[in-house]
Structure 1
Amino acid sequence: MKKLRLDILLSDTSPAHSLTRTRASSLIMEGKVSVNGNICTKPGTLVAPESSISIKETNPYVSRGGLKLKGALTDFNLGVKGKRVIDIGASTGGFTDCLLKEGADFIYCIDVGYGQLHYSIRNNDKIKNLENINIKYLPFEEIGEKLDLAVCDVSFISLKKVFPHIPKFLKDGGLILSLIKPQFEAENKNILKKGIVKDENIHKSIIDAIIEFSKTLNLMTIGVKKSCIKGKKGNTEFFILLSKDSETKDLKK
């Protein structure tokens, strides 16, 4: 059988194709990938598909979300040290954990679920954990201040139903860094089995639609980057960075 590049083979054979080729290459160069028991540090090494490949990867965050956000912060060259943040869709707390490690001053964790935030961070004095509440129904008084940054990772809902409720919590010029999950934005006809959206043209149309919708809220797009890690089922995901224009109309209801 024809040999393949190690980075390609690692990406293609990872569970649900969860590793991008870029992430696979990074792991290889960091010496975290072994082929038949031997560490290999060259992504272009040709390897037989039947080879035994193992990864020694330790996640420094409480969930994969932390790795995603760290990648986005790096891609956008965005620092959060000293920033006050709202984490929408906090769940286990991967984004929050990353923000804490990057020096954020304080984080409001918002989630519709209950009891999900990881025990290692839920009692941190830099966190206010607001559980069992939808951002759509969160009154400004619960936060009581204008923040520097909102991060967002939500599922089973379109960002178009979430974004209108974020600006009231941000300062003028405040930022939104949100994960775009195509499977929750695409029309049903464009979603394959297991909730996968593969067509890059659909990805582009989804991103363009979110950018245009954001303009109606006076949220200006700074940039869009592909997430360094795919979703659990193998979906390519994206991060969008937006800025709140000074004339943004805060939605009060």
Structure 2
Amino acid sequence: MKERLDVLLVKKGILKSREKAKVVIMAGDVFVDGQREDKAGSMFDDSADITLLGNPIPYVSRGGLKLEKAMKQFCLDLSDRICMDVGSSTGGFTDCMLQNGALFVYAVDVGRGQLDWGLRNDPKVRCMEKTNIRYVVPEDIDRKPSFVSIDVSFISLTKVLLPVYNLMEKEGEVVCLIKPQFEAGREKVQKKGVVRDPAVHEEVIQKVMDYARTIDFSLCDLDFSPIKGPEGNIEYLLHLAKTGHPHDREELPVKEVVAGAHKELDK
């Protein structure tokens, strides 16, 4: 009897969930009887020889790799912390938080039915789907988060950071993903929503940082995401802190980070 490839990966115990299986398959990391397969719905016999290329993504989606890098580069410790994942989608960031010791995670997203089934049923996760972070107030959550990740699309971070600031614990931290295609003016966005100009990248990063300062966030650190977003856009990781006494550790190396991103990711 033939079954879907994503189902077989779970049935054989190779991966834990169909959501994770789909991510690995789409990444081109699955081989069936020696042939690469990139369609989760492809049908195969139960006896098919299925192997994975290299190390599969350890999270339910590639998004977890972005937060993983931020945690390493910014020396973040999430042990026993209340966290919030804004723009949770499948839950890659949420998964990364839990695997790194988070006590509890609010998974917030305007969509519905996207969060990985295992995370949705995890007692350490509260699925807040069909929820726009701009309208969430402190009374909507039981405990204030001390760490928040933000990975949103089709909206500028300048519309999201203040609501997040108001929900957080004092001394809380934020890692937000700066996506040039949603921060730059329309005239600077190319076909398919791509922004390639390093100068525009520098401009939008500075715009987000300047706004963060105006609402009393401290600028802590900056780096680029280890993977590109949809359509090949380079994205950036900005580390902020709600200190109560805003200050910047130092002038963040915007130009150097942008140059490093293009050198590494535009190979």
State the TM-score, normalized to the length of structure 1: 0.74
Give the partner amino acid of 2:206. D
Within 5 Å, give how 1:1-253 maps onto structure 2: 56-246=54-244
Deviation of 1:57 (Å): 4.3
Closer, same or farther in 2 for the Cα pair 1:188/1:55, shift >3 Å?
A: farther
Could you tell me whether the CA contact under 8 Å between 1:196 and 1:233 is conserved in 2? yes
Could you tell me whether the CA contact under 8 Å between 1:108 and 1:129 is conserved in 2? yes
Deviation of 1:66 (Å): 0.7
State the TM-score, normalized to the length of structure 2: 0.71
Aligned Cα RMSD in Å? 1.8
Name the structure 1 match of 2:40: none
Task: Show CA shifts across 1:4-25 (max 9, x none).
Answer: xxxxxxxxxxxxxxxxxxxxxx
Deviation of 1:55 (Å): 5.4
Give the partner amino acid of 2:112. Y
Which sections of structure 2, spanning at least 5 residues, go unmatched?
1-28, 35-51, 247-267
Deviation of 1:247 (Å): 5.9
Name the structure 2 match of 1:13: none
Mapped partners of 1:76, 1:87: distance in 2? 17
Partner SS, residue 148 of structure 2: strand
Could you tell me whether the CA contact under 8 Å between 1:145 and 1:169 is conserved in 2? no
Which sections of structure 1, spanning at least 5 residues, go unmatched?
1-31, 38-53, 249-253
Mapped partners of 2:55, 2:236: distance in 1? 23
Higher RCO, 1 vs 2 (CA within 8 Å, ≥6 residues apart): 1
Partner SS, residue 152 of structure 2: coil
Name the structure 2 match of 1:5: none
Deviation of 1:64 (Å): 0.8
Divergent runs of 4+, >4 A: none
Mapped partners of 1:168, 1:191: distance in 2? 31
Partner SS, residue 88 of structure 2: coil
Q: Equivalent pairs: percent with the same residue?
A: 41
Could you tell me whether the CA contact under 8 Å between 1:68 and 1:229 is conserved in 2? yes
Mapped partners of 1:57, 1:194: distance in 2? 31
The count of corresponding residues between Structure 1 and Structure 2 is: 197
Could you tell me whether the CA contact under 8 Å between 1:91 and 1:116 is conserved in 2? yes
Deviation of 1:56 (Å): 3.5
